[in-house]
Amino acid sequence: MKERILTGLRPTGNLHLGHYFGACQNYLKLQEEGNEFYLEIADVQALTDNFNNPEKVRKNVYEITTDLLSIGIDPNKVNFYIQSKIPEIAELTIFYSNLVTVSRLQRNPTVKTEISQKKELFGEKGESITYGFLGYPVSQAADITCFNGTKIPVGEDQLPLIEQCREIVRKFNSIYGDTLEEPTPILSETKRVKGLDGNEKMGKSLGNAIFLVDDSETVKKKIMSAKTDTNKIHKDDPANPDNCMVYYYHKLVNNEENCKRICENCKKGTIGCVDCKKELIEKMNELLEPIRTKKEYYNNHKEEVEKIINEGTNKAKEEAKVQMNKIKEAMKINY
Ligand code: SF4
Protein backbone atom coordinates (compact mmCIF):
# COMPACT_ATOMS: atom_id res chain seq x y z
CA MET A 1 0.00 0.00 0.00
CA LYS A 2 1.21 3.45 -0.85
CA GLU A 3 2.05 5.50 2.21
CA ARG A 4 1.31 9.17 2.48
CA ILE A 5 4.32 11.04 3.80
CA LEU A 6 3.42 14.27 5.56
CA THR A 7 5.92 16.74 6.88
CA GLY A 8 6.35 20.44 7.41
CA LEU A 9 8.96 23.09 8.04
CA ARG A 10 8.47 26.40 9.80
CA PRO A 11 9.60 29.26 7.57
CA THR A 12 11.66 31.15 10.12
CA GLY A 13 15.10 31.07 8.48
CA ASN A 14 17.26 29.40 5.85
CA LEU A 15 18.15 25.73 6.15
CA HIS A 16 21.41 24.91 7.91
CA LEU A 17 23.58 21.80 8.22
CA GLY A 18 21.39 20.52 11.03
CA HIS A 19 18.39 20.43 8.69
CA TYR A 20 20.45 19.08 5.81
CA PHE A 21 21.95 16.08 7.62
CA GLY A 22 18.79 15.47 9.63
CA ALA A 23 15.33 15.95 8.18
CA CYS A 24 16.41 16.71 4.61
CA GLN A 25 18.34 13.46 4.10
CA ASN A 26 15.20 11.68 5.17
CA TYR A 27 13.11 13.68 2.66
CA LEU A 28 15.56 12.97 -0.18
CA LYS A 29 15.39 9.26 0.54
CA LEU A 30 11.62 9.16 0.97
CA GLN A 31 10.89 11.03 -2.25
CA GLU A 32 12.54 8.15 -4.16
CA GLU A 33 10.33 5.48 -2.60
CA GLY A 34 7.26 6.11 -4.73
CA ASN A 35 4.99 7.28 -1.92
CA GLU A 36 2.76 10.31 -1.97
CA PHE A 37 4.65 13.11 -0.26
CA TYR A 38 3.15 16.34 1.08
CA LEU A 39 5.50 19.03 2.35
CA GLU A 40 3.91 21.90 4.26
CA ILE A 41 5.48 25.31 4.54
CA ALA A 42 4.06 25.89 8.00
CA ASP A 43 3.64 29.65 8.07
CA VAL A 44 0.73 29.63 10.58
CA GLN A 45 2.79 27.55 12.96
CA ALA A 46 5.77 29.87 12.47
CA LEU A 47 3.53 32.74 13.56
CA THR A 48 2.85 31.08 16.93
CA ASP A 49 6.22 32.34 18.14
CA ASN A 50 6.76 35.02 15.49
CA PHE A 51 3.34 36.68 15.61
CA ASN A 52 5.08 40.01 16.12
CA ASN A 53 7.34 39.52 13.08
CA PRO A 54 5.15 38.69 10.08
CA GLU A 55 7.69 40.03 7.56
CA LYS A 56 10.21 37.42 8.70
CA VAL A 57 7.72 34.60 8.17
CA ARG A 58 6.60 35.88 4.77
CA LYS A 59 10.17 36.26 3.48
CA ASN A 60 11.12 32.80 4.67
CA VAL A 61 8.23 31.04 2.92
CA TYR A 62 10.13 31.74 -0.29
CA GLU A 63 13.57 31.17 1.24
CA ILE A 64 12.82 27.78 2.70
CA THR A 65 11.04 26.59 -0.45
CA THR A 66 14.01 27.52 -2.63
CA ASP A 67 16.46 26.00 -0.12
CA LEU A 68 14.54 22.72 -0.32
CA LEU A 69 14.46 22.82 -4.11
CA SER A 70 18.18 23.62 -4.16
CA ILE A 71 19.15 20.55 -2.15
CA GLY A 72 17.23 18.36 -4.59
CA ILE A 73 13.69 18.05 -3.29
CA ASP A 74 11.85 17.29 -6.50
CA PRO A 75 8.50 19.08 -6.97
CA ASN A 76 7.42 16.27 -9.31
CA LYS A 77 7.65 13.86 -6.38
CA VAL A 78 6.89 16.17 -3.46
CA ASN A 79 3.82 18.37 -3.15
CA PHE A 80 4.72 21.75 -1.64
CA TYR A 81 1.90 23.81 -0.11
CA ILE A 82 1.44 26.78 2.18
CA GLN A 83 -0.36 26.04 5.43
CA SER A 84 -2.31 29.31 5.67
CA LYS A 85 -3.86 28.68 2.24
CA ILE A 86 -5.64 25.57 3.57
CA PRO A 87 -8.43 26.85 5.88
CA GLU A 88 -9.48 23.27 6.68
CA ILE A 89 -6.36 22.94 8.85
CA ALA A 90 -7.47 25.84 11.05
CA GLU A 91 -10.99 24.42 11.18
CA LEU A 92 -9.72 21.00 12.25
CA THR A 93 -7.53 22.60 14.91
CA ILE A 94 -10.68 23.98 16.52
CA PHE A 95 -12.46 20.61 16.40
CA TYR A 96 -9.46 18.81 17.91
CA SER A 97 -9.03 21.39 20.68
CA ASN A 98 -12.01 19.70 22.41
CA LEU A 99 -10.13 16.40 22.45
CA VAL A 100 -7.04 17.43 24.36
CA THR A 101 -6.67 18.87 27.85
CA VAL A 102 -4.64 21.96 28.68
CA SER A 103 -2.61 20.00 31.23
CA ARG A 104 -1.71 17.37 28.60
CA LEU A 105 -0.37 20.12 26.36
CA GLN A 106 1.54 21.64 29.26
CA ARG A 107 3.15 18.26 29.95
CA ASN A 108 4.20 17.69 26.32
CA PRO A 109 8.03 17.46 26.53
CA THR A 110 8.62 19.18 23.17
CA VAL A 111 6.38 22.11 24.12
CA LYS A 112 8.01 22.37 27.57
CA THR A 113 11.50 22.48 26.04
CA GLU A 114 10.50 25.09 23.49
CA ILE A 115 8.84 27.30 26.09
CA SER A 116 12.03 27.19 28.20
CA GLN A 117 14.04 28.24 25.11
CA LYS A 118 11.79 31.24 24.44
CA LYS A 119 11.95 33.05 27.76
CA GLU A 120 12.09 36.49 26.10
CA LEU A 121 8.69 35.79 24.54
CA PHE A 122 6.93 33.57 27.08
CA GLY A 123 8.53 34.65 30.40
CA GLU A 124 10.99 32.98 32.80
CA LYS A 125 8.62 30.20 33.77
CA GLY A 126 6.36 30.27 30.73
CA GLU A 127 3.87 32.53 32.54
CA SER A 128 3.23 34.52 29.33
CA ILE A 129 2.64 31.50 27.13
CA THR A 130 0.02 32.15 24.48
CA TYR A 131 -3.00 29.97 23.75
CA GLY A 132 -1.72 29.61 20.18
CA PHE A 133 1.75 28.37 21.08
CA LEU A 134 0.54 25.96 23.75
CA GLY A 135 -1.89 24.56 21.22
CA TYR A 136 0.49 24.10 18.32
CA PRO A 137 0.63 20.29 18.76
CA VAL A 138 -3.14 20.33 18.14
CA SER A 139 -2.57 22.29 14.97
CA GLN A 140 0.10 19.75 13.95
CA ALA A 141 -2.40 16.94 14.45
CA ALA A 142 -4.66 18.88 12.09
CA ASP A 143 -1.80 19.26 9.57
CA ILE A 144 -1.24 15.52 9.55
CA THR A 145 -4.82 14.27 9.53
CA CYS A 146 -6.09 16.88 7.08
CA PHE A 147 -4.15 14.95 4.43
CA ASN A 148 -4.41 11.50 5.99
CA GLY A 149 -0.66 11.41 6.61
CA THR A 150 0.44 7.89 7.53
CA LYS A 151 4.22 8.31 7.83
CA ILE A 152 5.75 11.37 9.42
CA PRO A 153 9.49 12.05 9.10
CA VAL A 154 10.68 13.65 12.36
CA GLY A 155 13.68 14.17 14.60
CA GLU A 156 13.80 12.41 17.96
CA ASP A 157 12.86 15.60 19.81
CA GLN A 158 9.56 15.75 17.91
CA LEU A 159 8.33 12.28 18.81
CA PRO A 160 6.07 13.64 21.60
CA LEU A 161 4.24 15.71 18.97
CA ILE A 162 3.44 12.61 16.95
CA GLU A 163 2.32 10.82 20.10
CA GLN A 164 0.01 13.76 20.82
CA CYS A 165 -1.44 13.45 17.33
CA ARG A 166 -1.96 9.72 17.77
CA GLU A 167 -3.83 10.36 21.02
CA ILE A 168 -6.09 12.88 19.32
CA VAL A 169 -6.78 10.44 16.47
CA ARG A 170 -7.68 7.65 18.93
CA LYS A 171 -9.94 9.96 20.88
CA PHE A 172 -11.63 11.20 17.71
CA ASN A 173 -12.22 7.68 16.43
CA SER A 174 -13.55 6.48 19.79
CA ILE A 175 -16.14 9.28 19.87
CA TYR A 176 -17.07 9.76 16.21
CA GLY A 177 -16.27 6.32 14.78
CA ASP A 178 -13.28 5.07 12.77
CA THR A 179 -12.45 7.98 10.52
CA LEU A 180 -8.81 8.98 10.96
CA GLU A 181 -5.58 7.03 10.51
CA GLU A 182 -2.98 6.91 13.27
CA PRO A 183 0.29 8.17 11.82
CA THR A 184 3.66 6.60 12.58
CA PRO A 185 6.93 8.52 12.82
CA ILE A 186 9.98 7.88 10.65
CA LEU A 187 13.15 8.90 12.48
CA SER A 188 16.02 10.62 10.66
CA GLU A 189 19.19 8.54 10.65
CA THR A 190 21.34 11.50 11.67
CA LYS A 191 19.50 12.74 14.68
CA ARG A 192 21.02 16.07 15.45
CA VAL A 193 23.97 18.17 14.30
CA LYS A 194 25.94 20.09 16.90
CA GLY A 195 26.67 23.80 16.59
CA LEU A 196 30.04 25.42 15.81
CA ASP A 197 30.39 26.23 19.51
CA GLY A 198 29.91 22.60 20.56
CA ASN A 199 26.28 23.14 21.63
CA GLU A 200 24.23 19.96 21.23
CA LYS A 201 21.94 21.75 18.79
CA MET A 202 22.71 23.87 15.73
CA GLY A 203 20.31 26.77 15.36
CA LYS A 204 19.92 30.23 13.89
CA SER A 205 18.92 31.75 17.21
CA LEU A 206 21.93 30.12 18.88
CA GLY A 207 24.28 31.86 16.40
CA ASN A 208 26.20 28.60 15.82
CA ALA A 209 24.94 27.48 12.41
CA ILE A 210 26.42 27.03 8.96
CA PHE A 211 23.64 27.76 6.48
CA LEU A 212 23.38 25.98 3.16
CA VAL A 213 23.36 29.35 1.39
CA ASP A 214 26.36 30.80 3.24
CA ASP A 215 28.95 32.05 0.74
CA SER A 216 32.49 30.66 0.80
CA GLU A 217 33.88 33.64 2.74
CA THR A 218 31.22 33.24 5.46
CA VAL A 219 31.90 29.49 5.67
CA LYS A 220 35.61 30.22 6.05
CA LYS A 221 35.02 32.70 8.90
CA LYS A 222 32.66 30.34 10.70
CA ILE A 223 34.94 27.32 10.47
CA MET A 224 37.97 29.37 11.51
CA SER A 225 36.09 30.31 14.70
CA ALA A 226 34.80 26.78 15.46
CA LYS A 227 35.51 25.27 18.87
CA THR A 228 38.60 23.02 18.93
CA ASP A 229 40.34 21.02 21.69
CA THR A 230 41.42 23.73 24.15
CA ASN A 231 44.46 21.64 25.17
CA LYS A 232 46.02 22.23 21.76
CA ILE A 233 47.80 25.54 22.13
CA HIS A 234 50.79 25.03 19.82
CA LYS A 235 50.67 23.61 16.32
CA ASP A 236 52.48 20.42 17.35
CA ASP A 237 50.60 19.77 20.61
CA PRO A 238 48.78 16.43 20.54
CA ALA A 239 45.02 16.76 20.99
CA ASN A 240 41.82 14.80 21.20
CA PRO A 241 39.77 15.16 17.98
CA ASP A 242 36.66 14.01 19.84
CA ASN A 243 36.77 17.33 21.71
CA CYS A 244 36.84 19.31 18.50
CA MET A 245 33.99 20.59 16.34
CA VAL A 246 36.24 20.78 13.27
CA TYR A 247 36.81 17.03 13.42
CA TYR A 248 33.09 16.53 14.12
CA TYR A 249 32.25 18.30 10.81
CA HIS A 250 35.04 16.48 8.96
CA LYS A 251 33.17 13.29 9.84
CA LEU A 252 30.06 14.75 8.19
CA VAL A 253 31.58 16.04 4.96
CA ASN A 254 34.97 14.33 4.50
CA ASN A 255 35.67 10.74 3.50
CA GLU A 256 36.61 7.95 5.91
CA GLU A 257 40.24 7.76 4.84
CA ASN A 258 40.81 11.49 5.36
CA CYS A 259 39.04 11.43 8.72
CA LYS A 260 41.26 8.58 9.86
CA ARG A 261 44.38 10.50 8.80
CA ILE A 262 43.20 13.69 10.55
CA CYS A 263 42.34 11.76 13.72
CA GLU A 264 45.76 10.07 13.86
CA ASN A 265 47.71 13.23 13.05
CA CYS A 266 45.74 15.26 15.58
CA LYS A 267 46.49 12.72 18.31
CA LYS A 268 50.20 12.72 17.39
CA GLY A 269 50.37 16.50 17.04
CA THR A 270 51.51 16.28 13.41
CA ILE A 271 48.73 18.47 12.04
CA GLY A 272 47.98 22.07 13.04
CA CYS A 273 44.45 23.39 13.57
CA VAL A 274 44.78 25.97 10.80
CA ASP A 275 45.61 23.33 8.16
CA CYS A 276 42.91 21.06 9.54
CA LYS A 277 40.36 23.89 9.28
CA LYS A 278 41.48 24.79 5.76
CA GLU A 279 40.81 21.21 4.64
CA LEU A 280 37.36 21.32 6.24
CA ILE A 281 36.57 24.64 4.50
CA GLU A 282 37.45 23.06 1.16
CA LYS A 283 35.27 19.98 1.79
CA MET A 284 32.39 22.06 3.13
CA ASN A 285 32.45 24.29 0.05
CA GLU A 286 32.47 21.21 -2.21
CA LEU A 287 29.20 20.19 -0.54
CA LEU A 288 27.63 23.65 -0.59
CA GLU A 289 28.68 24.94 -4.01
CA PRO A 290 26.09 22.97 -6.07
CA ILE A 291 23.39 24.07 -3.59
CA ARG A 292 24.41 27.72 -3.94
CA THR A 293 24.33 27.40 -7.74
CA LYS A 294 20.80 26.00 -7.69
CA LYS A 295 19.68 28.63 -5.21
CA GLU A 296 20.93 31.33 -7.57
CA TYR A 297 19.01 29.68 -10.39
CA TYR A 298 15.73 29.80 -8.41
CA ASN A 299 16.42 33.37 -7.32
CA ASN A 300 16.61 34.23 -11.02
CA HIS A 301 13.48 32.19 -11.88
CA LYS A 302 11.04 33.21 -9.19
CA GLU A 303 8.10 32.46 -11.47
CA GLU A 304 9.06 28.76 -11.40
CA VAL A 305 9.01 28.76 -7.60
CA GLU A 306 5.61 30.49 -7.52
CA LYS A 307 4.24 27.92 -9.95
CA ILE A 308 5.50 25.04 -7.78
CA ILE A 309 3.92 26.54 -4.67
CA ASN A 310 0.62 27.44 -6.36
CA GLU A 311 0.14 24.09 -8.07
CA GLY A 312 1.06 22.18 -4.90
CA THR A 313 -1.28 24.30 -2.78
CA ASN A 314 -4.17 23.80 -5.23
CA LYS A 315 -3.69 20.04 -5.08
CA ALA A 316 -3.57 20.16 -1.27
CA LYS A 317 -6.79 22.25 -1.22
CA GLU A 318 -8.65 19.54 -3.15
CA GLU A 319 -7.37 16.82 -0.83
CA ALA A 320 -8.27 18.80 2.28
CA LYS A 321 -11.86 19.32 1.05
CA VAL A 322 -12.41 15.57 0.62
CA GLN A 323 -10.98 14.76 4.05
CA MET A 324 -12.96 17.55 5.72
CA ASN A 325 -16.24 16.25 4.28
CA LYS A 326 -15.45 12.86 5.77
CA ILE A 327 -14.62 14.36 9.17
CA LYS A 328 -17.70 16.61 9.26
CA GLU A 329 -19.89 13.70 8.35
CA ALA A 330 -18.44 11.66 11.24
CA MET A 331 -19.00 14.63 13.58
CA LYS A 332 -22.54 15.11 12.28
CA ILE A 333 -21.90 18.71 11.27
CA ASN A 334 -22.17 18.16 7.52
CA TYR A 335 -25.19 20.47 7.15
FE1 SF4 B 1 40.61 19.79 15.90
FE2 SF4 B 1 42.03 19.39 13.76
FE3 SF4 B 1 42.95 20.96 15.71
FE4 SF4 B 1 42.78 18.35 16.05
S5 SF4 B 1 44.07 19.42 14.58
S6 SF4 B 1 42.14 19.93 17.51
S7 SF4 B 1 40.94 17.84 14.88
S8 SF4 B 1 41.17 21.36 14.40
Residue identifier of the C-alpha nearest atom 3 of ligand 1: 273
**Ligand 1 centroid to residue 230 C-alpha, Å:** 10
Ligand 1: residue whose CA is nearest its atom 5: 273
Contact 152, 162 (CB under 8 A): yes
Q: What is the Å distance from ligand 1's center to 302 Cα? A: 42
Contact 164, 100 (CB under 8 A): yes
In the structure, which protein residues have their CB atom closer than 6 angstroms to any atom of ligand 1?
228-229, 232, 239, 241, 244, 246-247, 262, 266, 271, 273, 276-277
| 276 C-alpha to ligand 1 centroid (Å) | 6
Q: Considering Cα of 39, then 187, then 77, then 202, what sign does the dihedral take?
A: positive
Using the mean position of ligand 1's atoms as its centre, give its distance from the Cα of residue 193 in Å. Answer: 18
User: If you ran DSSP here, which 8-state letter would residue 45 be given?
Assistant: H
Quickly state the pLDDT bin for 162 (edges 50, 70, 90): very high
Residues 57-68 have a mean pLDDT of 97
> Best substitution site from 232, 245, 253 to test ligand 1's pocket, by max atoms within 8 Å of Cβ?
232
Asked if pLDDT for residue 188 goes beyond 70, the answer is: yes
Could you tell me the pTM of the whole model?
0.92
Which residue from 276, 278, 283 has its CB within 8 A of the most atoms of ligand 1, so it is best to mutate?
276
User: What's the first-to-final CA gap in the chain, in angstroms?
Assistant: 33
pLDDT higher than 80, residue 190: no
Confidence category of residue 3, pLDDT binned at 50, 70, 90: confident
Average pLDDT, the chain: 94
pLDDT tens column, 100-115: 999 999 998 888 888 8
For residue 82, pLDDT beyond 80: yes
Strand intervals (E) in the chain = 4-9, 36-41, 79-82, 151-154, 184-187
pLDDT band at 191 (very low <50, low <70, confident <90, very high): low
